[in-house]
Amino acid sequence: AQKITQTQPGMFVQEKEAVTLDCTYDTSDPSYGLFWYKQPSSGEMIFLIYQGSYDQQNATEGRYSLNFQKARKSANLVISASQLGDSAMYFCAMREDGPKGANNLFFGTGTRLTVIP
């Protein structure tokens, strides 16, 4: 089974509007971390936001917020006030904090966001 599922291959949003990118995950570990990365056309993966499984509040970083619904195993990224520079691929990833302690990430297939002027 896929550990990370991103069901939206592509999304469009009007400039200055908000957009939600979906991510669901699958794990039996009680302790895990969820990450969102942005990949512009240059290829570099840029870290955006992190949510720990025990965090009581949803994470926020500037215009990025993470809508964490633990019971539904979802970790959707919300981008507010979209800008043209937000056009990129967005990847959701998960780290399982198992007994081995490895910091390996499992990635989804990504969502291509296009911001329309």
Partner 1 sequence: DGGITQSPKYLFRKEGQNVTLSCEQNLNHDAMYWYRQDPGQGLRLIYYSQIVNDFQKGDIAEGYSVSREKKESFPLTVTSAQKNPTAFYLCASSSMDRGRKTQYFGPGTRLLVL
32 belongs to the binding site for partner 1 (CB under 8 A): no
Other Cβ atoms within 10 Å of 53 Cβ, number: 19
64 belongs to the binding site for partner 1 (CB under 8 A): no
* DSSP assignment letter at 85: G
Q: Which range, of 11-19, 20-28, 33-41, 73-81, touches partner 1 by CB under 8 A?
A: 33-41
Q: Which two three-digit tokens encode residue 26?
A: 């699958």
From 21, 14, 50, select the one nearest 34 (Cα to Cα): 50
The footprint of partner 1 (CB under 8 A) covers 4, 33, 35, 37, 42-47, 50, 52, 91, 93, 95, 101-105, 107-110
